[in-house]
Amino acid sequence: MQSGNTRSRPAETVLAAATAQLATDPAAALAVAEDLLASAPDLLPAQLLAGQALRHLGQFDAAVARLSALAALAPTVPAVRWELAQAAVAAGQPEVAITALEQLTRQLPAVPGGWFLLANQYRAAGRARDGWLADLKGVNAATQDAELVQAALAMQQGKLDDAAALLVARRVRAGDDPPASRLAAEIRWRQGDMPGAIAGLEAVLNQAPGYDMAREFLIRLLVQSNRLPDALVHAELLATSPVDNPGHDLILASVLVHLGEQGRARDLYEGLLARNPGQPQVWQNLGHVLKTLGEQAGAVTAYREAVTRQPTLGEAWWSLANLKTVKLGAADIAAMEAALAALAGQESPRAEDLFHMHFALGKAHEDLGESQAAFRHYTEGNRLRRAGIVHDADAFSAEIDAAVSTFTAPFLAARRDGGCPAPDPIFIVGLPRSGSTLIEQILASHSQVEGTMELPDMMMIASRLAARVEAGEFADFGSMMAALTPTDRQRLGEEYLERTRIHRKSGKPRFIDKMPNNWQHVGLIRLILPNATIIDARRHPMGCCFSAWKQHFARGQGFSYDLVDVGRYYRDYVRLMAHFDAAAPGATTRVVYEEMVADTETQVRRLLSAVGLAYEPACLEFWRNDRAVRTASSEQVRQPIFTDGVDHWKAYAAWLGPLGETLGDVATLYPAVPASLSPI
């Protein structure tokens, strides 16, 4: 642009045209600015343009010098501070950038970009805490962003594609920023893209490490994905936030519980309660941890503290009732009835408080020998819980049909080679309330075996494989399994061992995975871990199913809240296990609960032999083992075997007709497998 042309037009017009050239021809923009300043040295817009052009040309030190001088002349012009900050960042002069951005954010505190850039410069200068606080101020400023509010509202209304489109348009126009990226990650999560959501949140935290709410969300998704070590790293970092938020300790404690670090979780809960004892939920959480650690008296105290502070907290009442060695009395029943009345008076009582309360009342009446009242409350608790559960018994039976059709004797024989050869895992499978915790405690008392918990990893691997069928990659379950090469199967077995390694803390060569639902995946286990041990824990179907039906489970087991559903589930279980007995003899070892109770030493010796372990007397004194136990039977396995529960269901036989009819010959011929379910 010629100087004559510059001087023949209004300065505003010339400046606008040159500014538009900054990105494509900064040298020309600089020439225009210098030409204007030659005749008007005090023209501030031209001085700003010169500084911007120098930055775009990569002459960062010159840009800083020019813009610093301009900032002294025009201290109230935000654009000058912003340009100076960006030039100083590019020049590697964080202190200059910090000074400019501190002044800018005082002047314009509602502009998020200034806070996020300031946060980065604080970190570059080694001021991590100040950077964290600046990130949080940027997040707070973003709550006033009308476009983000509009996108968030669309997301909350379920208009996920519309919300995503709004964010894309915003990014094209204004670039990326941490709050918009966090919202985009949540939209991906709601759309079912868990990996994309996690990757998005990780990118957000690379931009803004002090974005606590994004880190909280990421931890939740990592736990859901069973990436517990990663979740722990983020939870421990979150706990160091300069914001005094007790919720951060609660998040860390939750991750520790998932990892089996019950002692550390207890310390956190006790610390929170020492500072503020009026927290019923924290008392309840402390009770859960103490129960797992075998500190029953402490657990009782904690649960009673919870219901004293919040009498309608149904889960705390149920947790107290669910301590199998604790009996609730008339005073407890009166308190729970009063709490139910209070919940009935609420406009929208929480369903979980209601059904937990009914399960607890059922157990309280059961303890008093009042079977009819107990059954009435169990029925209502199950009715309420079933209403919120998605379980399709027909679809589940079809899945078992597919497994039976796939894992035939020729199919398994043709795949003897492949898979991970490690013998480490001992899978205890079956139905909940089948005596599996007793078997686990016996085995975990052996010097070569470590007890862990109900690990979700095999189920997650199986779900990922099933998703390939749902996505149309394979025609059906059988073709997907047939497509797994020996290398694939070895990789999957090694993946399982790697995923579960975090739970192995003792260095013992064998470990237990007590996830009962893994009976559905016996075929997969045989393919990817051919030398693993599988123990089938079996109990009389009437006793097992009734016990599961009157037990509220923290998660999963959606089949257990209806007597017909649980009966059908048991029949499917017997059918599949009978199939493997025929297709792969010796693939599983069955332990019958009633036989274990009647002749414990003989059955313990048989069990150890099946696992390939030498007999050790400690296995007969399993109740002396003080390891953490997270299941509903945690108190029962801390005392010698008793026989009271074997025929307990008979006191309720008058009301168990639907269950008995559904089970049919599975119940009448137990422990034999009826011909109707035996392989043809």
Where exactly are the structural domains of the chain? 320-388, 393-668
Distances (CA, A) of 274 to 134, 147, 235, 270, 288: 31, 43, 21, 6, 18
In contact, 198 and 222? CB cutoff 8 Å: yes
Alpha helices in 472-599 (DSSP H): 477-482, 486-500, 522-528, 541-549, 563-583, 593-598
Whether residue 26 has a cis bond before it, omega within 30° of 0: no
Reference 550, options 459, 474, 632; nearest CA is 632
In angstroms, rounded to a whole number, what is the distance separating the alpha carbons of residues 515 and 249? 28
What is the number of helices (H) and of strands (E) in the chain?
A: 36, 5
Burial per residue of 642-666, b for 16 or more beta-carbon CB atoms within 10 angstroms, e otherwise: eeebbeebeebeebbeebbebbeeb
624-627 contacts, C-beta under 8 A, 24 or more apart? 624/445, 625/441, 625/444, 625/445, 626/294, 627/441, 627/444, 627/451
Q: What angle do CA 299, 455, 233 make, to 5 degrees?
A: 80
pLDDT of residue 643: 57
Phi first, then psi: give them for residue 92, nearest 5 degrees: 70, 35
pLDDT of residue 637: 44
Element (H, E) at 450: strand 449-453
- 637 alpha carbon, distance to own chain's centre: 28
**Residues whose CB falls within 8 Å of the CB of residue 530, separated by 6 or more in sequence, listed in order:** 416, 418, 419, 421
Q: What angle do CA 586, 456, 597 make, to 5 degrees?
A: 50
In angstroms, rounded to a whole number, what is the distance separating the alpha carbons of residues 156 and 163? 9
What DSSP character marks residue 228? H
Alpha-carbon radius of gyration of the chain:
32
In angstroms, rounded to a whole number, what is the distance separating the alpha carbons of residues 80 and 521? 65
Burial per residue of 73-86, b for 16 or more beta-carbon CB atoms within 10 angstroms, e otherwise: ebeebeebbbbbbb
In angstroms, rounded to a whole number, what is the distance separating the alpha carbons of residues 112 and 115? 5
For the chain, how many residues are written? Answer: 680
In angstroms, rounded to a whole number, what is the distance separating the alpha carbons of residues 265 and 280? 16
**Residues whose CB falls within 8 Å of the CB of residue 652, separated by 6 or more in sequence, listed in order:** 371, 374, 375, 546
pTM given for the model: 0.82
Structure-token match 């502009």, residue found: 111
**CB count, 10 Å around CB of 499?**
19
Residue numbers in the chain where pLDDT is lower than 50: 1-4, 627, 629-639
pLDDT of residue 15: 86
In angstroms, rounded to a whole number, what is the distance separating the alpha carbons of residues 369 and 359? 15
Element (H, E) at 510: strand 510-513
In angstroms, rounded to a whole number, what is the distance separating the alpha carbons of residues 541 and 570? 7
In angstroms, rounded to a whole number, what is the distance separating the alpha carbons of residues 384 and 359? 10
In contact, 171 and 137? CB cutoff 8 Å: no
Per DSSP, the three-state class of 589 is strand
**Residues whose CB falls within 8 Å of the CB of residue 310, separated by 6 or more in sequence, listed in order:** 280, 316
Exposed, middle or buried by CB within 10 Å (0-12, 13-18, 19+), for 353?
buried
What single letter denotes the amino acid at residue 159?
K
In angstroms, rounded to a whole number, what is the distance separating the alpha carbons of residues 427 and 588? 10
Domain 393-668 class? Answer: alpha beta
Query: Which token pair is 405?
Result: 């059709």
> For 190-211, what is the HEC assignment?
HCCCHHHHHHHHHHHHHHCCCC
